[in-house]
Structure 1
Amino acid sequence: MSIETIVDFSQEGVAPERYLPAPEKILKGNPEQTVYQHYNSPCGQFGAGVWEGEMGQWKVSFTEHEYCEIVQGVSVLRDAKGGAKTLRAGDRFVIPAGFEGTWEVLEPCRKIYVSFEKSAAAS
């Protein structure tokens, strides 16, 4: 492999993917989201990029392990029992596969993420 295979997030050229959560998952607001997927591994289980979210709240169910670093904004992550963690710029954390709850964006949010999709065989 050569230096050209290194993925630089600061380089332009990654097409944004804009979407809304499924209607049945939205709890409030109009939480439009944008993903800039900078890297996908050949096996399809590992990825990294930038995510942006607008204000609103929706249900989440993580099938992947995800490392996150909030670089802008404020969000609240709640588990299914109602426990909550407020996330602000500078916060770094991992959401394990199997986590279920809600994500609420209080101020437009931007995060860097690295995810590893749990394979069916590794359950």
Structure 2
Amino acid sequence: MSKHISDITLFSSHSPHVESYHLADDKKISGNPLQSVQNYFESPCKQFNVGVWQSEAGQWQVNYSEYEYCDILEGSSIITDSNGHSLTVNVGDKFVIPAGFIGTWEVVNHCKKIYVMFEQQA
């Protein structure tokens, strides 16, 4: 099946619904950050997603079942693994979080990122 120019998702000409939410109480460690996501693309198999995520300051538990590429556009965050090792990410940082990562995500100040997620089906 051949695809065409009209099948390309251009962020600047596509404005998906903004979903705003607060984290579930059992995930929160500190704060009650308002978060939002704009999912610009979802593959037909629903395993591949691309969009923009934002969050206010706070800290919560994470348990990744998907691989996630991140490009930090605004702010900074501290990602800490289950052994207590941490990584501070800032504007311009690009990285991949592997499926199976367990730890915490702390937004130090308002953070905005582009995400690209792939969740492998069992």
Note whether the superposition's TM-score is higher than 0.5: yes
Aligned length: 120
| 1:116 aligned residue | 118
Task: Output the amino acid matched with 2:61.
Answer: K
The whole-number CA distance in structure 2 between the counterparts of 1:79 and 1:11 is 37
RMSD between aligned residues:
0.8
Deviation by residue 1:49-69 (Cα, 9 ceiling, x = unmatched): 000011000000000000000
| 2:31 aligned residue | 29
Tell me the CA shift for residue 11 of structure 1.
2.3
Q: TM-score, normalised by structure 1?
A: 0.94
Residue of structure 1 aligned with 2:48, choices 46, 49, 54:
46
Extract structure 1 runs of 4+ deviating beyond 3 A: none
Q: TM-score, normalised by structure 2?
A: 0.95
| 1:3 aligned residue | 5
Task: Output the amino acid matched with 2:22.
Answer: L
Task: Output the amino acid matched with 1:39.
Answer: F
